[in-house]
Homo-oligomer: A and B are copies of this chain.
Amino acid sequence: MPVFLDTSDSTFEQSFATLLSAKREDSPDVDAIVAEIIADVRTRGDQSLLELTAKFDRLSLPDTASLRITEAEIDAAIADVPAAEREALELAAARIRAYHEQQLPEDKSWTDAAGATLGWRWSAVSAAGLYVPGGLASYPSSVLMNAVPAKVAGVSRLAVTVPTPDGEINPLVLLACRISGVDEVYRVGGAQAIAALAYGTDTIAPVDKITGPGNAFVAAAKRRVFGKVGIDMIAGPSEILVIADADNNPDWIALDLLSQAEHDESAQSLLITDNAAFGQAVAEAVEHRLKTLQRGPIAGASWRDFGAVIVVRDLEEAAELSNRIAPEHLELCVADPTALSQKTIHAGAIFLGQFTPEAIGDYIGGPNHVLPTARSARFSSGLSVMDFLKRTTLSQMTPDALRAIGPAAATLATSERLEAHGLSVLARLDALNR
C-alpha cells in the first residue's frame, strides 16, 4: 500500500515535503566510460561503431555499409505488421501531425515610429538525429512523438539510430520511421550512436540536434555533446497526478495510476481527492488490479515506494498542491475540469475529465508525450515543433531611424566603456549630418 496523507494532519507539511523530495532515480555514474566511447568514435569513426556494436549488441556487421538499415530491409520488416497495428500507428501519426502543425509559429516584421524595421524569422534545424532505444523499451509511439514534430518543423534530414541487440528490431519501430518520414536509419546504439550523430563518421553525417530517450549511457553522452549540438531534455522517470472527486469509478482511476507505475519501479503515481473513502476505494482497486497485471511487480514496487493518496479539504487545496508538485501528467477527474485547470499552472500535460485517460495522450491524442519530469514543468515544456526550429532576429535602420535612436546607443556604449561600439554609430551619424 502507498502512503496516505491528509492535509488536516499536523504532520502533513513534513510528509508532503518528503514526498516531493524523494530521490527516485539513482543514475549510475558512467561518465568516464562514455567519455572514452565518444573519443574513440571521434578518432576511429565507423570502425569504432562496428567494434562497439559487436561488443554491446552482440552483432557482427560485415562492413560499414551494413550500419545502415536499407529501405529494402525496412520494406521486408514491415510487410508482416498486422493491419490493426499498422492502422493504429497511422491514425496516431496523423493525429500527432495535425496537432503539431498548429504549433508552427509565424514570422513577424513591422516598422516602428522611429522608422526601424524589426522582426524575426523562424527556420528549421537542417539535420536532426533521433535516438530510439532497443529491446523492450523500443517504443514505436516514441518514434512518432519525436520524428513527426521534426518533420512538421521542416527538418530536411532526420536520422534515426536504434540498437538491434542480437540483430533483433521491432518492426513497428521501422514502420513508425517510415510513416513519419525518417530519412535514414542506423543499427547503432548507446553512447557510440550519440557520438556518431554529434561528430559524424564516414557513414553517418553529423546532425545539429539530437532528441530521444535512452539509458544512462545515452543520457551521459547527450550531456557531453550538448553545445556541439542541441539536445532535448534528459527525461526522468514518469509521473502522474490524478485529482479526482468521489464521482468517479475507482477502477478507472486505479488503472490510470497503474499506467504510469507500470513503466518503471521509479515512476510516481499520486492521487489527490477531497473524499477519503474514495481514496481508499482507489487504493483497493489498485491492489486488486496488481494481482493480475502483467507488469504487476514493477507497478507494485512503484506504487508501494513512491505512490501516495492525499486527502484534501477542497479542490482549491488540490490545485495548490498540484502546483507544488508540478507533475509531468495531470488528470483532472472532477465536475468542472476546465475551471480547475485554470488553477493548475505548472504541469507538462493536462487531461480533462473522466473520459480522458492519460494513456490517450501517450499514443493518439495528438499532443506530445515527451514531457518535463521531476518538477521541471515549473520552467520547461514538452517536446514540440519549436524544438526543431530556431529564431533569427532582424533589424534594419533607415538614416532617419539611426538619427532618432543612434545617439542613445552611443551614450550607453560610452557609459559601458565600449568605445568602438559607440564610434560605429557616431561615424555614421557624422556622415549623415554633414
Set B112, B208, B390, B425: member contacting A359, Cβ < 8 A:
B425
| A368 touching B396, Cβ below 8 Å | no
**Is A277 located at the chain interface by the 8 A CB criterion?**
no
Which A103-131 residues have C-beta < 8 A from chain B? 103, 105, 108, 110, 112, 116-118, 120-121, 123, 125-126
* Shortest beta-carbon distance from A109 to chain B in Å: 10
When the two chains form their complex, are residues A408 and B363 in contact, meaning their CB atoms are under 8 A apart? yes
A397 at the interface (CB under 8 A from B): yes
Any B CB within 8 A of the CB of A200: no
Q: Which chain B residue has the least Cβ–Cβ distance from A365?
A: B395
* Contact indicator B227/A374 (Cβ below 8 Å): yes
Is there contact, CB below 8 Å, between B396 and A353? Answer: yes
Which of B102, B249, B420 is the one whose CB lies under 8 Å from A261?
Answer: B420
Stretch at the interface among A67-75, A90-98, A184-192: A90-98
Contact indicator B110/A102 (Cβ below 8 Å): yes
* Residues of the B chain whose Cβ atoms lie less than 8 Å from the Cβ of A208: 378-379
Contact (Cβ within 8 A) B227 A234: yes
Question: Considering only CB atoms and an 8 Å cut-off, how many residues of chain A contact the other chain?
Answer: 122
A259 contacts partner chain B, Cβ-Cβ < 8 Å: yes
Contacts A259-B418, A355-B397, A417-B294: A409 and B363 contacting too (C-beta < 8 A)?
A: yes
Q: Which residue of B lies closest to A210 (CB)?
A: B379
Tell whether A151 is near chain B: CB-to-CB under 8 Å: no
Confirm or deny: A43 has a beta carbon within 8 angstroms of a beta carbon on chain B.
no
- Is A99 interfacial (CB-CB < 8 Å)? yes
Q: In this complex, which of A85, A108, A255, A262 has the most chain B Cβ atoms within 10 angstroms of its Cβ?
A: A255
Interface positions of A from 245 to 282, Cβ below 8 Å from B: 249, 251-252, 255-256, 258-259, 261-263
Chain B residues, CB < 8 A from A234: 227
A96 to chain B, nearest CB (A): 11
The answer to whether A355 touches B402, judged by C-beta atoms less than 8 angstroms apart, is yes
Indicate whether A392 sits within 8 Å of B421 (C-beta atoms), given known contacts A365-B116, A409-B362, A411-B85. Answer: no
Chain B nearest CB: distance from A237 CB in Å? 14
Interface presence of A215 (CB below 8 A): no
Chain A, 379-403, CB within 8 A of any chain B CB = 379-382, 384, 386, 390-399, 401-402
**Residues of the B chain whose Cβ atoms lie less than 8 Å from the Cβ of A351:** 395-396
Instruction: Choose the segment among A31-39, A44-52, A133-141 that binds chain B (4+ C-beta atoms closer than 8 Å).
Output: A133-141
The answer to whether B397 and A353 have CB atoms under 8 Å apart is yes
B350 in contact with A367 (CB, 8 Å): no
Which residue of the partner chain B has the closest CB to A95?
B405
User: What are 12 contact pairs spanning A and B, CB under 8 A?
Assistant: A85-B412, A91-B405, A125-B379, A139-B416, A230-B379, A252-B424, A353-B396, A358-B424, A360-B397, A362-B409, A364-B405, A381-B392
Top-7 shortest CB links A-B? A230-B379, A367-B393, A352-B396, A88-B408, A255-B424, A258-B420, A359-B421
